[in-house]
C-alpha cells in the first residue's frame, strides 16, 4: 500500500482524523503492520493490550463483550482498541480476521511520541475524549435517575 493510501485510511479513522498530515506520516512510518489470513486471531479476550489497531484492508470481526451480544465487523479505517492507544490493560473481547486483512498497530509509546511532537493534535484528541466522557457521565446520570424512580 502506498504512503498516501495509508495516510488517507488513518485520516478517516476515529481520533486520527484530528491529526495533521505530518503526524499521520510519522504514525505510518513508525507503526507496525500485520497481515492476517481469514480466520487468524488478531488478539484474544484477556490478553494484555499493547496498542490499538487501525484496519488498513479486509475485515476484522470483534466478538461481543457480553454473552448474547452481536459481533462487530470492522473494515478499513476502523479503530479497534481506542483505550489501548493510551493505556495498557486487558483485551475485553476476541478479534479475528473475517477475510484476509492488514492492520496497523499503534502502541501507547508511539501515540505518546506523536502527541508530544504535535501538541495541537494532542489538544484536539483530549477535547474529543473529554466530550465522550462527559456524554457517558450524562447518560449514566439519566440511568441513575430512572433507577431511583423505580
Structural domains of the chain, ranges and CATH numbers in brackets: 3-148 (2.60.120.10)
What nine digits make up the cell of 111? 501515540
Cell numbers placing 64: 461481543
DSSP label at 97?
E
Q: What are the Cα distances from residue 97, in Å, to 41, 67, 85, 127, 136?
A: 6, 20, 20, 32, 30
**pLDDT at position 4, please?**
86
Dihedrals φ, ψ of 53, to 5°? -125, 135
Q: What is the pTM of this model?
A: 0.84
What pLDDT was estimated at residue 48? Answer: 95
List, for residues 94-130, the tens digit of each pLDDT value.
Answer: 999 999 999 999 999 999 999 999 989 888 888 888 8
Q: Which tens digit of pLDDT belongs to each residue from 130-148?
A: 888 888 888 888 888 888 8
Q: How many CB atoms lie within 10 A of CB 118?
A: 20
39-82 pLDDT, tens digit each: 999 999 999 999 999 999 999 999 987 777 788 999 999 999 99
How far apart are the C-alpha atoms of 41 and 19, rounded to whole Å?
29
Amino acid at each position: 500500500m502506498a504512503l498516501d493510501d495509508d495516510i488517507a485510511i488513518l485520516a478517516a479513522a476515529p481520533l486520527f482524523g484530528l491529526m495533521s498530515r505530518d503526524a499521520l506520516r510519522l504514525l505510518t512510518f513508525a507503526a507496525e503492520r500485520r497481515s492476517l489470513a481469514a480466520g487468524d486471531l488478531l488478539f484474544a479476550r484477556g490478553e494484555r493490550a499493547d496498542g490499538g489497531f487501525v484496519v488498513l484492508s479486509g475485515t476484522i470481526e470483534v466478538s461481543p463483550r457480553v454473552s448474547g451480544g452481536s459481533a462487530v465487523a470492522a473494515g478499513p479505517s476502523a479503530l479497534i482498541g481506542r483505550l489501548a492507544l493510551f493505556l495498557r490493560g486487558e483485551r475485553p473481547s476476541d478479534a479475528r480476521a473475517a477475510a484476509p486483512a492488514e492492520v496497523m498497530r499503534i502502541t501507547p509509546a508511539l501515540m505518546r511520541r506523536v502527541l508530544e511532537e504535535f501538541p495541537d493534535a494532542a489538544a484536539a484528541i483530549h477535547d474529543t475524549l473529554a466530550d465522550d466522557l462527559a456524554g457517558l457521565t450524562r447518560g449514566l446520570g439519566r440511568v441513575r435517575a430512572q433507577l431511583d424512580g423505580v
